[in-house]
Amino acid sequence: MSDTLPLSILNNRRLETWLQFRPDRTVMLAVGKVEIGQGILTALSQIAAEELDVGIDRIAILSGDTDDAPDEGSTSSSQSIEVSGRSVRLVSAELRARVLGRLAQRLNCAPEQLSVDDGVFLQDGNPTGHDYWSFANAEDFAADIEGTARPKPQAAYKVVGQKVPRRDLIAKVTGAAFIHDLVRPDMLHARVLRQPSRDAQLQALNETAIRKASGGDIRIVRVGDFVAFVDADETTVQRAAAAAPGHAKWTGVRVLTPLQQEASWFRDQPADDRHIGDPAPPAQTGTIQTGTIVSQTYSRPFVAHAALAPSCGLAEYRSGHLSVWSHTQGVYPLRNSIADILGLQRAQVTVRHAHGAGCYGHNGADDAALDAAVIALQIPDHCIRVQWRREEEFGFEPVSTAHMTSLRAVLDDQGRPIDWTAEIWAGSHVQRPVFGGTMLAHEAMPNKPPPAKANDPTEANGGGGTRNGFPLYDFETKRVIHHLALQTPVRTSSLRGLGALPNVYALECFVDELAERADVDPVAYRLSLLSDPRARVLIENVAARCGWATREPAGTGRGLGLAWSRYKNKAAYACVAVELEVDQDVALRRVWCAADAGLVINPDGARNQLEGGIVHAASMTLKEQVTLDGDGITSLDWDRYPIMRFSEVPEIDVVIVENPHLPTLGMGECTFGPTAAAIGNAVAHALGVRVRDMPLTRARIAAALVR
């Protein structure tokens, strides 16, 4: 039934695209999803090992390779287990069934008499003398995947659901492990002089001064307004790049003001306006006969991915073929973009994934790869290694858009919402190069692309600005009005959760405010509005563990807050409670979390992701803001873009509520929104005053207190 097959299989129908049995008694599993620190390759290996009945150590994995691995688009949106995992399960089950079916014919027995033990075939428990490696042949692979083989029942799982350590961590704690560490023949190091903004033109470049500053005999590559410094010695090009901005004269540079760094700036910008949900306009004061109308506005500013490693890309052009190494989230989309921009056939370009630092979305990875490719075409027969500098990553990666959510509820006489409107102002939450976005080097080249097109994922794909915009509470009437700004002051693109964090922050803070208004305990208030049993279980679980029943009165300086959401309103559920103290700054003390992701493939990996999401969201909520002024972003180092440190991280207690009989739900982003909102609620509880605009810094708290 091809209409029920996952997209990954529909786009990659041949069995041999996914699986091969290799002579060394391993199984090569090829996938399009890539490791970005989330442990996906371990989880996918578990699924293949389970369905094939081979030991997990026999699974070798190849991921992200436009020559040798399937095209699964981008690794994003917590979809890798839901889509790729389901695909690997179906593919593995089908191959196993095909091979065993043929063996049953050979042995003249029923397929049910056959079993597999670590890849060795048994008949009624006795050796057959056959195994995958000796018996599987081209005939088994010579077919399109039909998806008709029945995967194992969950009750039979031996590998799925178990804690399996990640194989890639060994290299990461002992030495070379990342794209940054690759060494290729004839390698040259490169740095780029970035065009300050897309229409800026380079009027003058003092190459002599830059060469002198480099201390070496560097090569300077220029393609239009794209400039790179290239040499066999990395230190030399780093010095050139550090000095270069002082020796370059640009015209047509855009001018930014700090006003643009706040989400409220979007309120007056031209936008693509959409109305989703209940078609009636939002309630206006005076238009509703019964019911009180309450409204509040919440916001989050522009925030950075702030990967620990600045981006890196390698490219070499040899004999008319361009090979690229990148820590991109999508090797095929990147291959297509690079080929199109450089005027090459797609078959002339190979993109291979190599591990980078955690990206949490679309950062500078793709841009660095294009930088390397542009230079490689100018200097063929060398491997060009482009390493971005720290200020380059902060200054030029696409950031996550500022986002403002205004909520309006019509309340019944019990103070419960009967009509709900979320009005959202934001720039694009996704502008990948294949999704309306532009790439930096391309903007500096003579064939520069038209300006980026405002774009956002569809509602069916979870939305972008509207992600988690609809509450899952039992309100009668709900609508979302989305103002997608046509332009943003700086490039924006996807960051963990897209609009989910600001929207859940608004929703779950507003629910607390409504509970307070109704004089009802916030947990009891939530439960009175919520019939989804999976959500209720999590809220009750966390409330019990965090001591909600004995919560102190508001305004003591100590706060306890709780929030929940179901990511994208269709992926994993999470509820989070936060205990904190507010003196001048917010100090997190303890965090409790319960999550429900259905069948969990690797509970230890899942827990790691849940905890990581909590810390990341807490950092964003309390500390992070991209600042704008002059010719661009001014938060260019870790002092001006602080993130959470060891001394600020609370104790975290995560519980996974097991539902192994239910389908796996993507959970890499599910703690993000609830953590932010739980912090917002706990700060309000500590102070007796609500802070609605993130980040909840000392300055914003002080301003809220004097209002």
Residues interacting with another protein, by CB under 8 A? 36-39, 165-166, 168-178, 180-181, 183, 215, 233-235, 238, 306-310, 355-358, 360, 387, 389-390, 604-605, 608-609, 611-616, 619, 637-639, 643-647, 649, 651-652
Minimum CB separation of residue 327 from another protein in Å reads 10
- Closer to another protein by Cβ: residue 449 or 603: 603
Minimum CB separation of residue 619 from another protein in Å reads 8
Minimum CB separation of residue 612 from another protein in Å reads 4
Cis peptide before 695 (omega within 30 of 0): yes
Which ranges of 301-429 does DSSP label H, i.e. alpha helix?
331-342, 365-378, 390-396
Minimum CB separation of residue 668 from another protein in Å reads 10
Q: Please give the Cα distance from 367 to 441 (Å, whole number).
A: 7
- Closer to another protein by Cβ: residue 119 or 605: 605
- Closer to another protein by Cβ: residue 221 or 359: 359
Cα dist from 294 to 131, 406, 412, 456, 541, whole Å: 68, 11, 11, 29, 30
Q: At what angle do helices 207-214 and 234-243 cross, to 10 degrees?
A: 140
In 3D, which of 662, 678, 408, 663 has the Cα closest to residue 543? 678
- Closer to another protein by Cβ: residue 323 or 675: 675
- Closer to another protein by Cβ: residue 310 or 457: 310
- Closer to another protein by Cβ: residue 100 or 243: 243
Minimum CB separation of residue 445 from another protein in Å reads 27
Count of other CB atoms within 10 angstroms of residue 453:
13
Q: Please give the Cα distance from 698 to 623 (Å, whole number).
A: 9
Q: Please give the Cα distance from 543 to 100 (Å, whole number).
A: 50
The 10 Å CB-count burial string (b at 16+, else e) for 186-201 is: eebbbbbbbbbbbebe
Minimum CB separation of residue 390 from another protein in Å reads 4
- Closer to another protein by Cβ: residue 166 or 551: 166
Kind plus residue range of the DSSP H or E element containing 322: strand 321-326
Phi then psi dihedrals of residue 613, to 5 deg = -65, -35
Amino acid at 403: H
Cα dist from 130 to 26, 124, 401, whole Å: 15, 14, 57
- The backbone region for 228, taken as left when phi is positive above 0, alpha when psi lies in -120 to 50, beta otherwise, is beta
Minimum CB separation of residue 175 from another protein in Å reads 4
- Closer to another protein by Cβ: residue 235 or 531: 235
Which of helix, strand or coil describes residue 579? strand
Minimum CB separation of residue 545 from another protein in Å reads 17
82 burial level (CB within 10 Å; 0-12, 13-18, 19+): buried
Which ranges of 116-244 does DSSP label H, i.e. alpha helix?
132-135, 138-141, 169-172, 207-214, 234-243
Minimum CB separation of residue 489 from another protein in Å reads 24
- Closer to another protein by Cβ: residue 173 or 706: 173
- Closer to another protein by Cβ: residue 629 or 653: 653
Minimum CB separation of residue 43 from another protein in Å reads 13
- Closer to another protein by Cβ: residue 307 or 665: 307
- The backbone region for 386, taken as left when phi is positive above 0, alpha when psi lies in -120 to 50, beta otherwise, is beta
- Write out the DSSP string of 364-377: SHHHHHHHHHHHHH
- 325 pairs with which residues across the strands? 314, 352
- Closer to another protein by Cβ: residue 155 or 173: 173
Is 245 in contact with 193 (CB distance < 8 Å)? yes
Minimum CB separation of residue 511 from another protein in Å reads 26
User: Around 157, how many Cα atoms within 13 Å sit in the side-chain half-sphere?
Assistant: 19
Minimum CB separation of residue 506 from another protein in Å reads 23
